[in-house]
Amino acid sequence: MVERLRQHYRIRDERVLAAMSDVPRHLFVPEALQGRAYGDHALPIDANQTISQPYIVARMTELLECDRSSRVLEIGAGSGYQTAVLARAAGQVYAIERIPELARQAQARIRSLGVYNATVKCFDGTMGWSAHAPYDGVLVAAGGPEVPEPLLAQLKVGGRLVIPVGASRDSQRLVRVVRGEDGYKHEEHGACAFVPLIGRYGWSNAT
Ligand code: SAH
């Protein structure tokens, strides 16, 4: 999997590649799918959600440009896989998941792997997590109609926010927002297809 990320997908950040090779992805997928855990695809997890394709996890982590001193907010912890990867690449990770069962499982998995610099909580992540703001990086693993305002406000100057944005799942683009001294710069990083971001500053239901 890591060779494919390096050779085919041109992931260059060694910290990201090391994190992806450290975290046992098969422990984050349903038992019946463990044989496919390292393939080049997303897979279904509980509650009709998905664990993202390895390339997407690597690319989003690379775009965050974090290091051991970074404080990162993650929205949409799902299986907890991206959380565990971020915990290897960053200093402190605050992760939010709106489905209680997934949040509980994600927290239990990362603890059982000995990851102590990440916390998973259950609430609407489109509101951000103001108690630990501002963040060096914000990673949103579900697609919204636009970039949620509270997440922009909770970004440090110099910080990066990565999120899929689009009117439907078929028209999402991966967007990175970099906060500068005098405003926010938006960049586009290709097409993607994520499950919907549901919440006050996201979609109002699962359509
Ligand atoms: N990074 C995860 C991907 C999970 S899919 C992984 O690798 O497993 C996206 C997740 O976002 C789903 O679990 C979904 O429940 C969650 N989600 C959607 N809207 C949310 C919101 N407003 N706040 C928190 N989590 C949300």
* pLDDT string in tens for the chain (207-residue length): 999 999 999 999 999 999 999 999 999 999 999 999 999 999 999 999 999 999 999 999 999 999 999 999 999 999 999 999 999 999 999 999 999 999 999 999 999 999 999 999 999 999 999 999 999 999 999 999 999 999 999 999 999 999 999 998 889 999 999 999 999 999 999 999 999 999 999 999 754
Question: Pairing mode, if any, of strands 135-140 and 71-75?
Answer: parallel
**72, 124, 195, 203, best to mutate for ligand 1 pocket (most atoms within 8 Å of CB):** 195
Q: How far is the CA of 107 from the centre of ligand 1 (A)?
A: 14
User: CB of 104 within 8 A of CB of 47?
Assistant: no
The letter for the amino acid at 122 is C
For position 206, what pLDDT does the model report?
55
Q: What is the CATH number of the domain that holds 171?
A: 3.40.50.150
For position 205, what pLDDT does the model report?
73
Given the structure tokens 């997934």, which residue do they identify?
102
Q: How far is the CA of 185 from the centre of ligand 1 (A)?
A: 25
Parent domain of 112: 2-192
Question: Would 197 be classed as within a structural domain?
Answer: no
Determine which one of 52, 79, 112, 204 is catalytic: 52
- Establish whether the linkage from the previous residue to 30 is cis, with ω within 30° of 0: no
Q: In the structure, which protein residues have their CB atom closer than 6 angstroms to any atom of ligand 1?
A: 49-52, 75-76, 78-79, 81-82, 96-99, 102, 124-126, 141-142, 195, 197-199, 202
How many structural domains does the chain have? 1
pTM, 2 dp: 0.97
Half-sphere exposure in the Cβ direction for 66 (13 Å, CA): 32
